[in-house]
Chains A and B, each alone.
Chain A
């Protein structure tokens, strides 16, 4: 019995560490900062998540998602059905709104 308890103790920590590292591996997502230059010379700071496999479906977001990045990106990219997702969102698409149009209504 003592041997069995000792064995459990000995194995417990490595197993937990293994599970933790596996968990980290499944939620690790590569992203790249991208600056888009529009044809009217506006610069848009963006974040791009490269595809994890070829011919991935692409998900594109047209407003800031910074606040929910961790929740939504991990949920989407680790979803079984959307394992092949890559996507991009414009993190400051509003800059062009404010720069060109924001004062029009005054």
Chain B
């Protein structure tokens, strides 16, 4: 854990403030540089089919994931606990991005009381599901898990692997 990041979080007075602080960050650098170099790395490895790259992302990472799914050649996208303000800071809205993502397969996953995005992730994801254009699936798990915590459940990780097996 990075100390500066920890410090940034520590200065927030509540979980909602922590989420709000994180969501205010500009994600462009992550998409423009980090994701680009990672996809580039993968695409040039022996035995890798660059036409079959899937992306699984959680929490704040699901915003990076959605942006990256639009910008790069991603065959299937899993967004876990995508939530929060509909518009990206200085960028496009989730609805616009889902339209640009087009017909490619997409899986939305959250929990009934996902604490991300002001506790409205389940409602938000129903909306995102309706906005998605192509082959889509929405899975809402019971409980209040968020992001990586949802994937800790064996049935959730199996669900993701099964879905990827059908769509990659």
User: Taking beta carbons and an 8 Å cutoff, which residues of A are in contact with B?
Assistant: 34, 36-40, 42, 44, 46, 48, 50-51, 53-65, 67-68, 71-72, 75-76, 79-82, 85-86, 88, 90, 92-105
Chain A residue nearest to B43 (CB atoms) is: A58
User: Taking beta carbons and an 8 Å cutoff, which residues of B are in contact with A?
Assistant: 2, 4-5, 8, 21, 24-27, 29-30, 33-39, 41-42, 45-50, 52-61, 64-65, 68, 75, 147-148, 151-152, 154, 157-158, 160-162, 164-166, 168
Give 9 closest A-B pairs by Cβ, nearest first.
A81-B165, A63-B61, A57-B168, A38-B33, A51-B47, A98-B5, A105-B24, A79-B161, A57-B52
Q: Is the CB of B61 within 8 A of A62?
A: yes
Q: Is the CB of A93 within 8 A of B30?
A: yes
Q: Is the CB of A62 within 8 A of B166?
A: no
Q: Give A30 Cβ to nearest chain B Cβ, in Å.
A: 12
Q: Is the CB of B48 within 8 A of A56?
A: yes
Known: A86-B47, A86-B48, A97-B25. A81 touches B42 (CB 8 A): no
Q: Among B46, B49, B54, B166, which residue has its beta carbon within 8 angstroms of that of A59?
A: B54
Known: A51-B48, A93-B61, A105-B24. A59 touches B152 (CB 8 A): no
- 25 example contacts (A-B, Cβ-Cβ < 8 A) are as follows A34-B41, A36-B38, A38-B36, A39-B33, A39-B37, A53-B47, A54-B47, A55-B49, A56-B52, A57-B75, A57-B168, A58-B42, A60-B53, A61-B55, A61-B61, A76-B157, A79-B162, A88-B42, A92-B2, A93-B61, A96-B29, A98-B5, A102-B4, A104-B25, A105-B24
Q: Which residues of B contact A60 (CB under 8 A)?
A: 38-39, 42, 53-56
Q: Is the CB of B42 within 8 A of A79?
A: no
User: Given the complex of chains A and B, what is the CA–CA distance between A75 and B153 in angstroms?
Assistant: 11
User: Given the complex of chains A and B, what is the CA–CA distance between A86 and B168 in angstroms?
Assistant: 12
Q: Give A61 Cβ to nearest chain B Cβ, in Å.
A: 5
User: Given the complex of chains A and B, what is the CA–CA distance between A51 and B60 in angstroms?
Assistant: 28
